[in-house]
């Protein structure tokens, strides 16, 4: 029984279905229970939360990753699955502590002041959620102080900053400086990205990591986190 | 030298039928009336309010009835001229007449003759201006690079000065600050010979973007207002990306581009009715692997051709995007992507094809050699736009009769009379016999282009008159010489 429902969760992650109204990759799935309904069912059935995450969600995402590597899946497929996992994680969050599951970490993300490019940042957010992180997205065109205040308040393990303009990327440096001045630089790992940003630039401004795309964003967070 | 083809009527390629255009148009009006768009500038919302638009202040959403939309569009001029410093470079936008120009704003430039790129500087921009000045099939200079060494408050004046002081072609450019806009206009007035002269013969124009989907940003809307008030021609382009900021379908992308650029057009016509405004498209598709922006896809050509038809339907001058490549080298990909997208835009009758030369790798990098190669692509494209002229003279019955069976046309006057105007003479293409090609070093296209780049830049001696330069440098702050 528990095996069945975990297998179904996994399959629906691969199909990228959040709710039962969703269509999947395959035909005729509309109306059948999807990740949200199945995870709710699993909780009601008393299935171990860690098991739901590992055998349902994460193992589903592993298959999605493989399909993406093999060019069978495109990014919108990948994002659909990541969103399903993100939604499930939100649902599971209140149960994590009582089940003794270590949360993976909280990430605050924003596009800096003066910059309206947010497509890349949104993709990064979805993929990070899909990888099981709790992501708080502040939006775009966010001024330095708001970001620093949010770090104080939310106490995330990571701060992700996105900039696509040479005229706005220096805000990243200023934000890191403000974190330093506020004495909270060591509490948070800062990762940066966006078209004009490079590994070199990230080093120069004293960031902890750089991601050239959404997948690198996930892997850099994973490597810094452990 | 052959003739220069520009402003010829395109329009033979029509990916949309009349019913398609009608259907898109109706949906455009439905989106503006039912869904509305977000206007994040307080001033801009006030302007929309004056037209009786319904405004949802809490969500900053503006909705306009169909009639108001059409009334405002009809206030925008359907034809106007972007002037060059030299009259022969004037560009008469409107109808289905086709012109070309560069585009930007790229961050990097290739080191000449290599695959390596570096940050672009102000000096590079001056060189590009000289180069474009010498390339006949590129009709205006859209300031293509961002000088990386300058702080943002010096960007606008330096970019426009670099353009105005190095070519007599019309200068169009994106702008970054309100103060910059003011100073650039002042500078252009000095070059034009006064306030009125600049309004009469605008030698500059500006770009302020609309945000897809359905959003006018605060800063950009404020810039649109400032430019429209100043009576300077402007473009309000929108950049919907299939699957990212528009529906994934080409039709959905054309729809989104139309609505989004219209937001800017409408605003300018409320602020200053009759403002010369260009309906603009930077619409394109994305890489399905990672949703990144693509600059060389065939769908980009299709969307822009469709949007050209929408512009013609609304009788608005059109700024299209085509001619770029996502390749990192001057290889066959860079050639076919640039050619296909330029060709589709041009045959559809796009008034001004922006980005049509010099841009590579996702519009991030410019390449001097590519300007020269694209100049040839554009020459061929413009020849295709010109089409086939059929008259008694071109059919030449009398001549055929005279030459007769088994004769030849090599020595006929008719051949000499028409050969230069009838056939495009490329500047970079290799048409040598193998032995001659070998003897000249067996160079490939980009190597031949390098030679031309240097020749053209070195032979350029254009600059503003000394006294104009003096006035500008003494009155406009921040210009680096
Ligand atoms: C789409 C776009 C726009 C849209 C943005 C819509 C939106 N909602 O985001 C609009 C039309 C609004 C726009 C406006 C402008 N743009 Co623009 N735009 C682009 C374009 C074509 C694509 C950007 C994009 O979305 N890419 C797709 C996403 C998926 O990729 P990405 O953003 O790079 O994100 C990936 C990685 O970078 C990384 N990443 C991103 N963020 C983060 C964060 C972290 C923490 C990590 C780890 C990783 C990471 O992962 C992402 C996913 O894989 C680029 C060109 C380009 N090749 O990038 C120009 C570009 C960025 N724009 C440019 C310019 C000049 C402008 C304007 C100034 C134009 C003007 N003159 O008005 C305005 C500025 C507006 C503003 N104030 O921000 C220039 C920048 C040049 C410069 N000097 O800096 C570019 C490079 C184009 C060009 N060559 O001219 N633009």
SS3 B210: strand
**Would the pLDDT of A17 be above 60?**
yes
Q: Model confidence over A18-68: pLDDT tens digits?
A: 999 999 888 888 899 999 999 999 999 999 999 999 899 989 998 998 898
Inter-chain contact B107–A167, Cβ cutoff 8 Å? no
Q: Whose CA is nearest to atom 11 of ligand 1?
A: B239
- More confident site: A99 or B131: B131
Do B194 and B220 form a contact (C-beta atoms < 8 A)?
no
Ligand 1 lined by A79 (C-beta under 6 Å): no
Identify which of A75, A166, A213 has the shortest CB distance to residue B146: A166
Ligand 1 lined by B104 (C-beta under 6 Å): yes
Map out the domains of chain B with their CATH numbers: 8-16+74-386 (3.20.20.480), 392-422 (no CATH)
Ligand 1 centre distance from Cα of residue A116 (Å):
8
Distances (CA, A) of B75 to A116, B46, B70, B413: 30, 19, 9, 51
Ligand 1 lined by A161 (C-beta under 6 Å): yes
Probe residue for ligand 1, chosen from A107, A137, A160, A195 as the CB with the greatest number of ligand atoms within 8 Å: A195
Q: Whose CA is nearest to atom 21 of ligand 1?
A: B293
pLDDT of residue A97: 79
Inter-chain contact B290–A213, Cβ cutoff 8 Å? yes
In chain A, residues with a C-beta closer than 8 Å to the C-beta of B217 are 116, 141
**CA-to-CA distance for B126 and B143, rounded, in angstroms?**
10
pLDDT of residue B26: 98
Do B264 and B236 form a contact (C-beta atoms < 8 A)?
yes
Q: Using 50, 70 and 90 to split pLDDT, how confident is the model at A1? A: low
pLDDT of residue A2: 67
Q: Whose CA is nearest to atom 5 of ligand 1?
A: A117
Residue of B nearest to A71 (CA): B289
Q: Which of A80, A126, A168, A195 to mutate to test the interface with B (most CBs of B within 10 A)?
A: A195
Inter-chain contact A76–B107, Cβ cutoff 8 Å? no
Question: Which of B326, B335, B298 has the alpha carbon at shortest distance from B430?
Answer: B335
What are the structure tokens assigned to B419, written together?
């050969």
Partners of residue B81 on adjacent β-strands: B92
H/E stretch holding A39 = helix A35-44
Q: Which residues contact A61 (CB under 8 A, 6 or more apart)?
A: A13, A81, A82, A85, A130, A131
In chain B, residues with a C-beta closer than 8 Å to the C-beta of A194 are none
Q: Which of B38, B291, B295 to mutate to test the interface with A (most CBs of A within 10 A)?
A: B291
pLDDT of residue A126: 86
Ligand 1 centre distance from Cα of residue B170 (Å):
27
Once rounded to an integer, what is the mean pLDDT over residues A174-196?
95
Shortest alpha-carbon distance between residue A57 and chain B (Å):
22
Per-residue confidence of chain B (481 residues) as pLDDT tens digits? 568 999 999 999 999 999 999 999 999 999 999 999 999 999 999 999 999 999 999 999 999 999 999 999 999 999 999 999 999 999 999 999 999 999 989 999 999 878 899 999 999 999 999 999 999 999 999 999 999 999 999 999 999 999 999 999 999 999 898 899 999 999 999 999 999 999 999 999 999 999 999 999 999 999 999 999 999 999 999 999 999 999 999 999 999 999 999 999 999 999 999 999 999 999 999 998 888 899 999 999 999 999 999 999 999 999 999 999 999 999 999 999 999 999 999 999 999 999 999 999 999 999 999 999 999 999 999 999 999 999 999 999 999 999 999 989 988 999 989 998 999 999 999 999 999 999 999 999 999 999 999 999 999 999 999 999 999 999 999 999 8
Ligand 1 centre distance from Cα of residue B20 (Å):
31
Shortest alpha-carbon distance between residue B458 and chain A (Å):
30
Do B51 and B384 form a contact (C-beta atoms < 8 A)?
no
Ligand 1 centre distance from Cα of residue A183 (Å):
32
Ligand 1 centre distance from Cα of residue A115 (Å):
9
DSSP letter at B65? Answer: -
H/E stretch holding A142 = strand A134-142
**CA-to-CA distance for B91 and B278, rounded, in angstroms?**
13
A2-99 CATH choice from 3.40.190.10, 1.10.1240.10, 2.30.290.10, 3.40.50.970: 1.10.1240.10
H/E stretch holding B452 = helix B445-459
Probe residue for ligand 1, chosen from A156, A161, A164, A221 as the CB with the greatest number of ligand atoms within 8 Å: A164
Ligand 1 centre distance from Cα of residue A110 (Å):
14
Is the Cβ of A166 closer than 8 Å to some Cβ of chain B? yes
Ligand 1 lined by A84 (C-beta under 6 Å): no
Query: How far from chain centre, in Å, is Cα A54?
Result: 16
Identify which of B241, B291, B364 has the shortest CB distance to residue A75: B291
Ligand 1 centre distance from Cα of residue B56 (Å):
29
Ligand 1 centre distance from Cα of residue A196 (Å):
9
Query: At CB < 8 Å, which residues of chain B contact A?
Result: 107, 146, 148, 152, 155, 176, 211, 217, 219, 241, 243-245, 248, 288-292, 362, 364
Distances (CA, A) of A155 to A127, A187, A223, B3, B50: 21, 8, 19, 67, 46
Ligand 1 lined by B290 (C-beta under 6 Å): yes
Q: Are strands B277-281 and A158-162 parallel, antiparallel or unpaired?
A: unpaired
**CA-to-CA distance for B185 and B236, rounded, in angstroms?**
18
Probe residue for ligand 1, chosen from B104, B105, B214 as the CB with the greatest number of ligand atoms within 8 Å: B105
- Other beta carbons within 10 Å of B51: 16
- Other beta carbons within 10 Å of B133: 20
What are the structural domain ranges in chain A? 2-99, 106-225
Once rounded to an integer, what is the mean pLDDT over residues A103-121?
91
Distances (CA, A) of B333 to B120, B326, B374: 24, 8, 13
DSSP B230-282: HT--EEEEE--BBTTTB-SSHHHHHHHHHHHHHHHHHHHHHHSTT--EEEEE-
Q: Which atom of ligand 1 is nearest the CA belonging to A211?
A: 47
CATH number of the domain at A106-225, please?
3.40.50.280
Q: Which residues contact B412 (CB under 8 A, 6 or more apart)?
A: B399, B402, B403
Question: How many CB pairs lie under 8 A apart between chains A and B?
Answer: 35
The residue assigned the tokens 């869904």 is B35
SS3 A200: helix
Is the Cβ of A119 closer than 8 Å to some Cβ of chain B? yes
Q: Label residue B245 left, alpha or beta by phi (over 0 means left) and psi (-120 to 50 means alpha).
A: alpha
**CA-to-CA distance for B156 and B472, rounded, in angstroms?**
14
**Surface of A (204-223) touching B: CB under 8 A:** 213-214
Inter-chain contact B364–A195, Cβ cutoff 8 Å? yes
Q: Are strands B61-63 and B54-56 parallel, antiparallel or unpaired?
A: antiparallel
SS3 B140: strand
Query: How far from chain centre, in Å, is Cα B475?
Result: 30
């Amino acid at each position: 029984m528990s095996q069945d429902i975990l297998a179904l969760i996994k399959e629906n992650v691969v199909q990228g279905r959040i709710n039962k109204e969703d269509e999947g990759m395959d035909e005729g799935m509309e109306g059948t229970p999807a990740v949200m309904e199945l995870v709710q069912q699993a909780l009601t059935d008393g299935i171990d939360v860690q098991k739901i995450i590992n055998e349902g969600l994460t193992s589903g995402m592993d298959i999605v990753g493989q399909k993406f590597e093999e060019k069978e899946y495109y990014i919108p497929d990948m994002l659909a699955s990541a969103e399903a996992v993100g939604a499930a994680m939100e649902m599971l969050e209140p149960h994590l502590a009582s089940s003794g599951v270590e949360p993976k970490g909280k990430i605050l993300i924003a596009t800096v002041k003066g910059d309206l490019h947010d497509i890349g940042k949104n993709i990064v957010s979805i993929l990070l959620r899909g990888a099981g992180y709790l992501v708080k997205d502040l939006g775009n065109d966010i001024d330095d102080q708001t970001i620093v205040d949010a770090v104080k308040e939310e106490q995330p393990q990571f701060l992700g900053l996105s900039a696509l303009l040479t005229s706005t990327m220096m805000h990243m440096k200023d934000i890191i400086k403000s974190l330093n001045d506020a004495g909270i630089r060591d509490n948070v790992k800062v990762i940066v990205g966006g078209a004009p940003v490079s590994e070199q630039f990230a080093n120069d401004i004293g960031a902890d990591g750089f991601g050239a795309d959404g997948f690198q964003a996930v892997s850099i967070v994973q490597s810094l986190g452990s | 030298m052959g003739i220069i083809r520009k402003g010829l009527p395109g329009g033979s390629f029509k990916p949309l039928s009349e019913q398609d255009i009608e259907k898109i148009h109706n949906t455009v009006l439905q989106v503006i009336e039912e869904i509305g768009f977000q206007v994040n500038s307080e001033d801009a919302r006030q302007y929309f309010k004056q037209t009786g638009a319904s405004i949802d202040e809490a969500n900053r959403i503006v909705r306009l009835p169909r009639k108001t939309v059409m009334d405002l569009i009809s206030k925008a001029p359907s034809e106007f001229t972007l002037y060059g410093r030299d009259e022969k470079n004037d560009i008469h936008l409107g109808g289905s007449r086709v012109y070309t120009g560069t585009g930007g704003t790229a961050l990097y430039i290739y080191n000449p003759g290599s695959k390596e790129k570096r940050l672009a500087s102000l000096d590079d921009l001056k060189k590009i201006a000289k180069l474009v000045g010498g390339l006949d099939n590129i009709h205006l200079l859209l300031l293509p690079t961002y000088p990386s060494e300058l702080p943002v408050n010096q960007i606008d004046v330096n970019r426009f000065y670099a353009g105005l002081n190095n070519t007599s072609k019309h200068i169009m450019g994106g702008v970054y600050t309100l103060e910059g806009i003011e100073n650039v206009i002042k500078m252009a007035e000095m070059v034009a010979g006064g306030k009125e002269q600049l309004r009469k013969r605008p030698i500059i124009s500006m770009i302020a973007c609309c945000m897809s989907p359905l959003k006018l940003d605060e800063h950009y809307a404020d810039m649109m207002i400032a430019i429209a008030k100043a009576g300077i021609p402007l473009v309000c382009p929108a950049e919907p990306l299939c699957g990212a900021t528009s529906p994934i379908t080409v039709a959905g992308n054309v729809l989104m581009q139309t609505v989004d650029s219209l937001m800017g057009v409408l605003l300018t016509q409320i602020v200053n009715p009759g403002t010369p405004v260009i309906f603009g498209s930077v619409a394109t598709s994305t890489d399905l692997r990672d949703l990144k922006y693509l600059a060389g896809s065939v769908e980009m050509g299709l969307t822009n051709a469709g949007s050209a038809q929408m512009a013609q339907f609304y009788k608005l001058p059109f700024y299209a995007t085509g001619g770029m490549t996502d390749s990192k080298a001057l290889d066959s990909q860079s050639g076919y992507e640039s050619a296909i997208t330029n060709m589709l835009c041009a045959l559809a009758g796009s008034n001004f094809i922006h980005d049509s030369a010099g841009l590579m790798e996702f519009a991030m990098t410019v390449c001097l050699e590519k300007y020269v190669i694209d100049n040839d692509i554009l020459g061929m494209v413009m020849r295709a736009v010109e089409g086939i002229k059929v008259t008694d003279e071109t059919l030449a019955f009398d001549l055929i009769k005279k030459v007769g069976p088994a004769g030849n046309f090599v020595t006929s006057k008719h051949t000499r009379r028409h050969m230069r105007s009838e056939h495009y003479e490329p500047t970079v293409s290799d048409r040598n016999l193998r032995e001659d090609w070998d003897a000249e070093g067996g160079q490939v296209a980009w190597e031949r282009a390098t030679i031309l780049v240097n020749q053209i830049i070195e032979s350029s001696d254009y600059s503003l008159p000394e006294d104009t330069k003096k006035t500008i440098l003494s009155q406009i702050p921040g210009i680096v010489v």
